[in-house]
């Protein structure tokens, strides 16, 4: 099997990415995991990468919890100010604005779950548009609000209304954690593909959880979307490698 690091580099090279990539999705969609995977993909091809934690919905299971380990691995990380870092106040660091006007590197925005989470983008919407952006919706078809085409379309419409920015692409990330089967994965891809076609958006990738990495070649022959072998970074306290702040 091709090493995952090399695979991610090739996957990232498939597209001409803008400076800013904002990633959002329903609670439990796995958006933060993919933000971090994308960050390492960019870093692997020599990009200067900054990851900004813009989750104003839930201060847990987000980038700020792994900030130290990410910085050790060479990524720049922006989190809310220290005095509100662990609160549930909707505060975003002003450093995001400064990062948007930098000419070099990629800026990845990890935006809070569900439609209301994109309120964090509103205050920077002008700078985001000027910098050039792609807003990606991560879809886990096993979450109630994105379990079908109609729910996904409603979420996109609500996100665009709140943020004034346009969703430009989708990512299929359907999973049931370690219980995910091949059939689960294929069903989730079908749901995301149908929604993407309905709204005229590209489906960039479909992620494959670690437990199915050995089935990627078989799965690839059954789908028409590039498969992204997801590497988990947001580990739980009882899992080996856990390193939260």
Tens of pLDDT, residue by residue over 139-151, are 999 999 999 999 9
What are the tokens at 115? 């439609």
Tens of pLDDT, residue by residue over 64-114, are 888 888 898 889 999 886 655 555 656 678 899 999 998 889 999 999 877
Q: How many domains does the chain have?
A: 1
> What is the spatial distance between Cα 31 and Cα 7, in angstroms, rounded to a whole number?
20
Per the domain annotation, does 88 fall within a domain?
A: yes
Tens of pLDDT, residue by residue over 217-245, are 999 999 999 999 998 876 554 455 556 55
Quote the pLDDT of residue 7.
82
> What is the spatial distance between Cα 54 and Cα 153, in angstroms, rounded to a whole number?
23
Q: What pTM did the predictor assign?
A: 0.91
Q: Does the structure show a pLDDT above 60 at 24?
A: yes
Quote the pLDDT of residue 114.
74
Quote the pLDDT of residue 177.
85
Question: CATH code at 112?
Answer: 3.40.50.300
Quote the pLDDT of residue 167.
97
- Please state the rounded mean pLDDT for residues 170-192: 95
Per the domain annotation, does 155 fall within a domain?
A: yes
> What is the spatial distance between Cα 19 and Cα 94, in angstroms, rounded to a whole number?
18
> What is the spatial distance between Cα 112 and Cα 58, in angstroms, rounded to a whole number?
7
Quote the pLDDT of residue 89.
59
Per the domain annotation, does 142 fall within a domain?
A: yes
Q: Does the structure show a pLDDT above 90 at 174?
A: yes
The domain in which residue 105 lies consists of 4-229
Per the domain annotation, does 235 fall within a domain?
A: no
> What is the spatial distance between Cα 85 and Cα 25, in angstroms, rounded to a whole number?
21
Task: Provide the pLDDT confidence category of residue 117 given band limits of 50, 70 and 90.
Answer: confident
Q: What mean pLDDT is reported for the chain? A: 88
Per the domain annotation, does 242 fall within a domain?
A: no
Which SS3 state, helix, strand or coil, does residue 229 take? strand
- Please state the rounded mean pLDDT for residues 27-46: 92
Q: Does the structure show a pLDDT above 50 at 2?
A: no
Residues ≥6 apart with Cβ < 8 Å to 239: none
Tens of pLDDT, residue by residue over 190-200, are 999 999 999 99
Angle, alpha carbons 56-61-67 (nearest 5°)? 90
Please classify residue 186 by burial: count the beta carbons closer than 10 Å to its beta carbon, then call 0-12 exposed, 13-18 middle and 19+ buried: middle
Which SS3 state, helix, strand or coil, does residue 34 take? helix
Per the domain annotation, does 153 fall within a domain?
A: yes
What does the DSSP 8-state code read for residue 238?
A: T
First to last CA, the chain: 34
Q: Does the structure show a pLDDT above 50 at 1?
A: no
């Amino acid at each position: 099997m091709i090493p995952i690091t090399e695979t991610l580099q090739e996957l990232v090279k498939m597209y001409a990415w803008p400076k800013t990539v904002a990633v959002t999705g329903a609670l439990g969609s796995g958006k933060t995991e993919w933000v971090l995977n994308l960050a390492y993909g960019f870093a692997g091809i020599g990009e200067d990468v900054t990851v900004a934690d813009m989750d104003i919905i839930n201060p847990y299971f987000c980038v700020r919890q792994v900030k130290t380990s990410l910085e050790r691995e060479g990524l720049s990380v922006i989190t809310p100010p220290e005095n509100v870092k662990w609160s549930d106040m909707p505060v975003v660091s002003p450093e995001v604005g400064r990062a948007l006007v930098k000419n070099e590197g990629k800026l990845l925005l990890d935006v809070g779950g569900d439609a209301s989470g994109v309120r964090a983008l509103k205050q920077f919407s002008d700078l985001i548009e000027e910098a050039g952006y792609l807003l990606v919706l991560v879809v886990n078809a096993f979450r109630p609000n994105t379990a079908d085409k109609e729910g996904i379309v409603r979420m996109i419409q609500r996100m665009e209304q709140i943020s004034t920015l346009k969703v430009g692409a989708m990512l299929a990330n359907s999973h049931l954690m370690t219980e995910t089967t091949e059939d689960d994965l294929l069903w989730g891809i079908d749901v995301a593909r149908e929604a993407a076609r309905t709204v005229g958006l590209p489906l960039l990738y479909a992620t494959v959880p670690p437990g199915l990495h050995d089935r990627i070649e078989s799965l690839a022959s059954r789908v028409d979307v590039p498969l992204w072998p997801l590497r988990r970074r947001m580990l739980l306290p009882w899992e080996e490698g856990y390193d939260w702040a």
